[in-house]
Amino acid sequence: MRKNGKLSNLYLIIVFIILYAPIFYLTYYSFNSGGTMHDFERFTWEWYKEVFHDTRLFIIVLNTLIVALLAAGISTVLGVIGAIAISNVRRNRTRNTLLSLNNVLIVSPDVIIGASFLIMFTMIGIKLGFISVLISHIAFSVPIVVIMVLPKLQEMSPTLVDAAKDLGASRWDVLSKVVLPFITPGIFAGFFMALTYSLDDFAVTFFVTGNGFSTLSVEIYSMARQGISLTINALSTLIFLFTMVLVVGYYFIAQRNNKAAGMGVRK
Amino acid sequence: MSKTKNIYLIPYVFWIVLFVVAPILLIVYYSFFDIEGHLTIANYEKFFTPVYLKMTLSSFWYAFLITAFTLLISYPAAYILTKTKHKQLWLLLIILPSWINLLLKAYAFIGIFGTYGTANALLEVLGIGSKQILFTDFSFIFVSVYIFIPFMILPIFNALEELNPSLISASRDLGANSWTTFKRVIFPLTLDGVKSGCQAVFIPALSLFMITRLIAGNRVITLGTAIEQHFLVTMDWGMGSTIAVFLVIIMVLMMLLTGKRKRGV
């Protein structure tokens, strides 16, 4: 293989710098006692203290985590059921139709998902708030889990299931003793993806959240619209560190499963 | 093969009907109502007035520019990436920023592009003098491109990885220079990656609304901004739905255009 020249390495480095600059910029100024994102005055932990003393913010962080964990958990269950359902369908046309419908929510712009869910919740009469946010997060996470689990199911040899049935396993035994253990890596990957999608989502949540309920993204948006506040910088640094831990964890799970190409991309 | 019923289908199809089919139908249904709740096609008539057509066109133009610039930056980056030593690690590092909340990155640019921000400080040093950068078309496109780069690099990287290196060697052996090899062999064979990358950028670029609000200061109005405006500010759900219907149509067209088909040269 041909080696990279100096120029191309430089190009790559510039791309890296640009990609990371805003993140480090935020972190750098989160320690600025001056209170602005220019003219660094003195080093301070003030903004971090403010983050930790803000009970409202603490509740919002808690909300975000609860929604993400619940949504990821429930959508993982639904997604696994969905993936098994799709792989059990024998007719090609039905399966392709199901798969296309599954992908609709992945490719639709967030604005449309948000707007249509808003209409639906209002029509059914679900109060906007925790429940509506949770349901939407589950809804848009299910197809992601399906996508992550399906390849694992297709890798599985059907003879395994046949063998289990021949040996007298019930439907439940087949599922819990044969199928689920085999697809566990896919399930974990799906759960993590759903978690990150849910933690990150802004646009959909923005539409379906009422007045009383807020997640971090929505809160950051309204804070940012009011202008610069270094509390956001401190908060973002903490989120950055948390995300790093999550991603590294996910990366090692993916590595262990020897699935190098399993890195999904957010919308 | 045993013909047991596929009971797993029941909850899954229930989910599809409730959260995929119903929302789309509701959007279409609502697009036929005006703000007072009367059945009408006025929204569609309104969409074809110059105001909305101009907005759609400019939205397209911005999305096109964003996609083009993203591609221009990402293709070489993906290409160089495939040639590095620890490419999976580097790829992870490229993708990592995409995991950071989009709003935080947009917020960072408010600082960088602000009146006293780093960008202006740099312009001062260069002797150009400070300029209004935030709330301009430039800042909007720059930040959008910044956000979409990882989504473009990934599919192109994967396409380049699948490329059989012996094809490049063959092209070299037959006397093609680097440029010809790229133009005739590498680029055509990675076109699928480019297409899915463009798909991953173009549609979201049409529907971004938080970036336009935070960075472009409402100077740029995309289809996404208009939908958000109609749904959450003016509460004219009918008009918002109408715009959403068109966005869906554009999305479907885009998918058909860039979908994985056999290349019929």
Mutation target among B104, B109, B196, B227 for the A interface, most CBs of A within 10 A:
B104
> How far apart, in whole angstroms, are the C-alpha atoms of residue A240 and residue A99?
34
* Intervals of chain A under pLDDT 70: 1-4, 254, 257-267
Query: Is A111 in contact with B244 (Cβ distance < 8 A)?
Result: yes
> How far apart, in whole angstroms, are the C-alpha atoms of residue A127 and residue A112?
20
> How far apart, in whole angstroms, are the C-alpha atoms of residue B45 and residue B230?
16
The residues facing B39 across adjacent strands are: B33
| 3-state secondary structure at position B131 | coil
Could you tell me the pTM of the whole model? 0.85
pLDDT digits (tens, 9 = 90+) for A18-48: 889 888 888 888 888 877 777 787 888 888 8
Task: Indicate whether B251 pLDDT > 90.
Answer: no
Higher pLDDT, B119 or B54: B54
Query: Is A200 in contact with B146 (Cβ distance < 8 A)?
Result: no
Residues of A in contact with B97 (CB under 8 A): 19-20, 23
Answer for the pair B169, A2: CB distance below 8 angstroms, yes or no.
no
- Here the tokens at position A99 are 């798969």
- Here the tokens at position A199 are 């933690």
Of B77, B94, B99, nearest to A243 by CB-CB distance is B99
Which residues are within 8 A (CB) of B80 and not within 5 positions of it... i.e. 6 or more apart? A4, A8, A9, A11, A12
> How far apart, in whole angstroms, are the C-alpha atoms of residue B1 and residue B10?
21
pLDDT digits (tens, 9 = 90+) for B77-99: 999 998 888 888 888 888 888 87
Task: Indicate whether B129 pLDDT > 80.
Answer: no
Indicate the helix (H) or strand (E) that contains A41: none
- In A84-121, which positions are buried (b, 16+ CB within 10 angstroms) versus exposed (e)? bbbbebeeeeeeeebeebbebbebbbbbbbbbbbbbbb
> How far apart, in whole angstroms, are the C-alpha atoms of residue A236 and residue A28?
11
Query: Is B20 in contact with A105 (Cβ distance < 8 A)?
Result: yes
How many Å from the N-terminal Cα to the C-terminal Cα in chain A?
33
pLDDT digits (tens, 9 = 90+) for B134-165: 788 888 899 999 999 999 999 999 999 988 88
CATH T-level fold of B49-258: MetI-like fold (1.10.3720)
Query: Is B16 in contact with A118 (Cβ distance < 8 A)?
Result: no
A84 close contact with B: CB closer than 8 A: yes
Residue spans of the domains in chain B: they are 49-258
> How far apart, in whole angstroms, are the C-alpha atoms of residue B84 and residue A9?
9
Query: Is A224 in contact with B204 (Cβ distance < 8 A)?
Result: no
ipTM tops the 0.95 cut = no
At which residue do the structure tokens 């933690």 appear? Answer: A199
> How far apart, in whole angstroms, are the C-alpha atoms of residue B105 and residue B100?
7
Higher pLDDT, A29 or B122: A29
pLDDT more than 70, % of chain B? 95
A176 close contact with B: CB closer than 8 A: no
